[in-house]
Structure 1
Amino acid sequence: MDLFARSWTALRTAVAGLPDEDFGRPSGCTGWLVRDLVCHLIIDAQDVLITLVTPAETEPTRDAVTYWTVSGTPPTGDDPLDALTMRLAAAYEDPGLLKFHLDDVGSAAGRAARLADPALRVSTRGEVLTAGDYLSAYVLEWTLHHLDLVMHLPDAAGPPPEGLARLRESIERISGAAFPASFSDEDVLLVGTGRRAPTEAETRELGGQASALPFVLG
């Protein structure tokens, strides 16, 4: 729960510090500008609020790792929901409005997370998790999107190191294989999820594991 708060606060703080011109730059998400990614974060924050007030009576069907589905097909940016996000982001026009909305809804999501009972069972996407597992799963979401946010913004602050370490652990559990020790936590996340291609040296170190990449999470 604490790592959720630290990861989410760091991401929102990074967005709040961006100059307006950065919202028109590319993000690490295929086909999305920074403004599109920030709009997606607003939708994510709404999902957190909705899920935390959607209790379930049945046993959990997922945990923090199995919450994610994995495919080997990277997104193209042509998905209808992606297109909707881009149209919605463009409708804001003023980056200040995006910042305001993320701060408003994001702060509420953060408060709801702090108040949630970790043992509470909640329902989302047709599955049941404890609130603790659900929020732990979102550490992965926040950390990956923080990397997406700053990928082409060298002056912006990156995600907390403890979030990167936790995310590496999650990726390795999801994939069922450890990455070479020479890979930094950030390298594992970028290469493992297809956000950048491995170098020739990294491909040699990965060996047969390279053919299984990327792990596209949804």
Structure 2
Amino acid sequence: MPDPLGLLRTAYGDLSGTLSSLTVEEGWVPTGCAGWTPVDLGFHLLSDARRALVALNTPSPARADTTAVDYWTAWRPPAPGDDEELWSTRIAASVHGGLPGIAARYAETSAAVLVAAERVRADDLVRTQGRVLTVADLLSTLTVEAAVHHLDLVAHLDRPGPAAEPLGEVRLVLEGLLGRRLPAGWGDVTAARRGTGREPLTDADRAGLGKDAGAFPLFG
């Protein structure tokens, strides 16, 4: 079984390296998140790393009510025309010094998350976004978030994507949500993109999935 902290260390390290490698000009190209540039996406990633740091320092006496899989049931792609998050992210990102400033803050914050994760046990319970889950499950959610957004970041750039191990975790979560294996012909990148609605299902996909095709996207 993959080590949750090891997976997150890989996901964060690779993503931070890619984000830091982008030029100022590359900060304004499209990404795999409709309407978002790397500047916007970088700020979103920074916010998520900050949330992770808070979560790892927020122990909970309550019993776990969320797992690494069902955490994602609340996250659906935005409806067409729903620009509220786009604009709030753009405004917030604009005061963080552009892409270089955001990338530097992400690097130090994500590194701090990894240190904090080393100081707790995998079965400790923590709270985030009103839910309680184990540290191991929290780290899985952070790995999945980082891997999917790493794919978004490089969608229109000549940069390496996420490593195989974090992408494998994305696939496991998607299959957990679907309740069955994803099509064997899908590589992990395809699984991540189609499973989250970033790439449409083909007619052959729909035929192979049958009634399960209606569950897509599994999260967004």
| TM-score w.r.t. length of structure 1 | 0.91
Q: CA deviation at 1:199?
A: 3.0
Q: Is the 8 A contact 1:32 1:77 kept in 2?
A: no
CA displacement, residues 76-112 of structure 1 (integer Å, 9 cap, x when unaligned):
4735344211111123353211122112222212221
2:183 is the counterpart of 1:180: yes
Aligned match of 1:32: 36
**Maintained 8 Å contact 1:30/1:75:** no
Report the counterpart of residue 10 of structure 1 in structure 2: 14
Aligned ranges 1:1-218 → 2 under 5 Å: 1-70=5-74, 74-76=78-80, 78-153=82-157, 155-217=158-220
Give the residue type in structure 1 aligned to 2:166: G
| 3-state SS, counterpart of residue 147 of structure 1 | helix
Q: What stretches of structure 1 move > 6 A for 4+ residues in a row? A: none
Whether the 8 Å contact between 2:178 and 2:212 is mirrored in structure 1 is no
RMSD after superposition: 1.9
3-state SS of 1:177 partner = coil
Tell me the secondary structure at the aligned position of residue 126 of structure 2: strand
In structure 1, runs of 5+ residues without a counterpart are none
Percent identity over paired residues = 34
Query: How far apart, in 2, do the equivalents of 1:70 and 1:194 lie?
Result: 15
Q: Is the 8 A contact 2:29 2:37 kept in 1?
A: yes
TM-score (norm: length of structure 2): 0.90
- Bigger mean CA offset, 197-206 vs 27-36: 197-206
Answer whether contact 1:27 1:148 (CA < 8 A) is retained.
yes
Q: Which amino acid aligns with 2:169?
A: R
Q: Is the 8 A contact 2:39 2:98 kept in 1?
A: no
Kindly state the Cα deviation for residue 177 of structure 1 after the two structures are TM-superposed: 2.5
Q: Provide the aligned length of Structure 1 versus Structure 2.
A: 216
